[in-house]
Amino acid sequence: MNGSLDQLIEMSRQLGDPALDLVILGEGNTSTRADAATFWVKGSGTQLIQADQGSFVRVKFEPILAALNRHSMNDKDVADLLKSSTVEGTRTPSIETFLHAQCLELPGVHFVGHTHPTVAVGLLSCLKSRELFAGPLFPDQIVLTGASCAYVPYTDPGLPLAKSVQRELRQFTHLHHRVPRVLLMENHGVIALGATAQEVLNITNMLVKSCRVLALTLAGGGPRFLAPDQIDRIDKRPDELARRADMK
C-alpha cells in the first residue's frame, strides 16, 4: 500500500478519537499528496474514526484546481467534476476536495487535517471571533501553530469556501511571507497544515489547547496577547526552531 496513504489513515483515526472532541459522526476530512499529479482525500459519508483504505479516493489536482479559477459552478457540475476527477476508489470525494487540493499545493504542506473541535467552533461562532484570535497567548502556541493564523470568514461549504480560502491564503502569504500552519474558519472549524501526519496532529492538539486558554481569558477581562517583540523572539529563537523541527 502507498506509504502516505497508510500515514493518512492513521492520522485520520487519531483525529477521529472521540476523547479529543475534534469531530463526531462524519465531520471533518483529511488529505495527503499521492504523487505529482494526484492526492488522497476522504470520501463523502465516511467517519474519521473508522478510516481505512476504502475511506479515501485518489483525485487529480489539475481539474480541481482549474475549477477554482472559474466564476461559478452549479451543484450538479461540481458533483460531475468530483466524479470525473477521481482516478482510484469507489466513493465520492469530500465536498471540501477543492480546499484540500489548494492546501496541498502550498510549499512544505504534505498533510491536511480539517476538524470541528467543539471549543474552537464555539469561539469561532462568537460575535467578535476575529478579534479573539488576533494574537498568540503563550510561547508553545507560537512554536506549534505559528505567530498568527489565517482567518476565513463564513462561506458556503464546497467550491465557494475553497475560493474564500484561496483569497485568504494569498493575503496571508503576502503579509507574512510564509504559509500559515492553521486556517480558522468562522462559524465552522479549523484546518491544520503539516509537513507530516504527526505535525498535523501536533498543530491540531496545540490549537485546541490555545482555544481552551483563550476561553479562560474571557472570564478575566479578555485575552492579553503577547507583544510583537515577544512573539518575534519566540518565533526566531534557535532552541524553539530546533523544537519545531524535532516535532515534525
Q: How far is the CB of 170 from Zn ion (least distance, A)?
A: 21
Question: Would you say 136 or 189 has its CB closer to Zn ion?
Answer: 189
Nearest to 101 by CA among 116, 82, 118: 82
Do β-strands 182-185 and 150-152 pair in parallel, antiparallel, or remain unpaired? parallel
Tell me if 117 contacts Zn ion by CB under 5 A.
no
Number of residues interacting with Zn ion: please give it, by CB under 5 A. Answer: 1
Using CB positions, name the residue nearest to Zn ion. Answer: 189
Q: How far is the CB of 188 from Zn ion (least distance, A)?
A: 6
* CB 27 within 8 Å of CB 44: no
Q: How far is the CB of 5 from Zn ion (least distance, A)?
A: 22
Task: Write the interaction track for Zn ion spanning residues 176-205; mark x where CB under 5 A is met and - where it is not.
Answer: -------------x----------------
The H or E element containing residue 40 is strand 38-42
Tell me if 135 contacts Zn ion by CB under 5 A.
no
Spatial distance between the Cα atoms of 84 and 238, rounded to a whole number of angstroms: 47
In the window 136-175, what residues touch Zn ion (CB under 5 A)? none
Alpha carbon 27 to chain centroid, angstroms: 13
Helices (H) and strands (E) counted in the chain, each on its own, are: 11, 8
Bridge-partner residues for 192, per DSSP?
Answer: 113, 182
Question: Would you say 116 or 233 has its CB closer to Zn ion?
Answer: 116
Question: Would you say 144 or 162 has its CB closer to Zn ion?
Answer: 162
In the window 212-241, what residues touch Zn ion (CB under 5 A)? none
Q: How far is the CB of 29 from Zn ion (least distance, A)?
A: 7
Spatial distance between the Cα atoms of 167 and 39, rounded to a whole number of angstroms: 22
Which residues of this chain interact with Zn ion, rule CB under 5 A?
189
